[in-house]
Amino acid sequence: MAVPQRSTRASAALVQSGEPAARAAESPQPKVVYVMGAGHSGSTILGLALGNCSDSFYAGEVDEWLITSGVPSLGGAERNEFWGKVREAMRPTRAEEFFGGRVNRRVERSSSLLRPRGWMARRALLRPYREVAGQLFTAIAQAAGVSHVVDTSHFPLRARQLQRLNGIQLHLVLLVRDPQDVVASNVREISRHEVAERRLRIAATNVELWLTHLMSLLVFLRQPRERRVFVRYESFVADPEGVMAQIVNSLGTGLELPDMTALRGGVALQGNSLIMSSTIAVKRSTRSALRSERWSLLTSIVQACWEPVFARLRPAAVASGAGDA
């Protein structure tokens, strides 16, 4: 469970540019930690924790960079300054050709595979998309002065294209949350009195969740074992320090763990409201405390097949006492 904490001070100086050039020279190939899975699964808080490790930067949902034309939709002088530097570094590239939502709709979203009429256009975008993505990660790493960039865009098809990039070292974190909680989070803003709308949203969310799990599984299994790890959100909040230690160990780069009670919000491009907090505390939560109050029979039936599949995925970061990884 993440608890934002008020502070009168801004986030640490992530936009200082004294050492990016030297850092880039030492490690020209950025290491990208990509958190993959369904939306509303806790990727923001996990991404923040990873980005607070030493030599790491939490960039947020990097897929939004093209959608917003490189301009952060959230406020803050430090955030605008940092992403202004990134955009300036990207000016010599072809990035501006892909500004807007076209790439997100045709390349990154799993639903793009369900639109045959767009397959040819999608294919034409893949090579330049990968080129721009690699250049963007390099620009972010240099601006932040780090070797590790954490991206919580979460789309499995985006992860598949990143797997084909030679200019980065990709590490995949497959994050999964109880489907009842994912569905409940997606329908939370709809009044209980809007019965028809709620049922439609529940059905649509289940279809999207099922497809996302399928694509995530295929992409995860294509990733080299030494550069992937499976994580349950419930395990992360039950044992934040222990699960983080296992994830960082899977990266094999000797990163130092952060203080999980004082994570910096930073200057992420996009994410949920947590990133607007100056500091965040991750407190242990039991599974019973996390259980959604709104249980869906449809969700239980449609998503039942995934539990035995996920139980077999390795390597896995597990809470203390929950089993072997």
Question: What does the pLDDT look like over 11-47, one tens digit per residue?
Answer: 443 444 444 434 444 446 999 999 999 999 999 999 9
DSSP 116: G
| Diameter of the chain measured on Cα atoms | 59
pLDDT digits (tens, 9 = 90+) for 198-211: 999 999 999 999 99
Give the global pTM.
Answer: 0.89
Which phi and psi angles does 245 have, rounded to 5°?
Answer: -60, -40
Q: What is the pLDDT of residue 8?
A: 34
Alpha carbon distance 190, 193 (integer Å): 8
Q: What is the pLDDT of residue 292?
A: 53
Token readout for 107 is 């390349």
Q: For the domain with range 30-317, which CATH number is right: 3.40.1000, 3.30.1360, 1.20.1300, 3.40.50?
A: 3.40.50
Q: What is the pLDDT of residue 20?
A: 41
Q: What is the pLDDT of residue 11?
A: 41
Q: What is the pLDDT of residue 173?
A: 98
Q: What is the mean pLDDT of each run of 10 residues along the chain (325 residues)?
A: 47 41 56 97 96 97 97 91 98 97 94 89 96 98 97 97 96 98 93 91 96 97 97 97 96 89 93 84 72 79 98 95 58
Q: At what angle do helices 195-222 and 179-186 cross, to 10 degrees?
A: 130
Which phi and psi angles does 316 have, rounded to 5°?
Answer: -130, 140
Task: Tell me which amino acid residue 77 is.
Answer: A
Sign of CA dihedral 288, 292, 293, 295: negative
Which stretches within 72-178 are classed as H helix?
77-90, 102-103, 119-144, 156-163
Task: Tell me which amino acid residue 200 is.
Answer: L
Q: What is the pLDDT of residue 17?
A: 40
Q: What is the pLDDT of residue 7?
A: 37
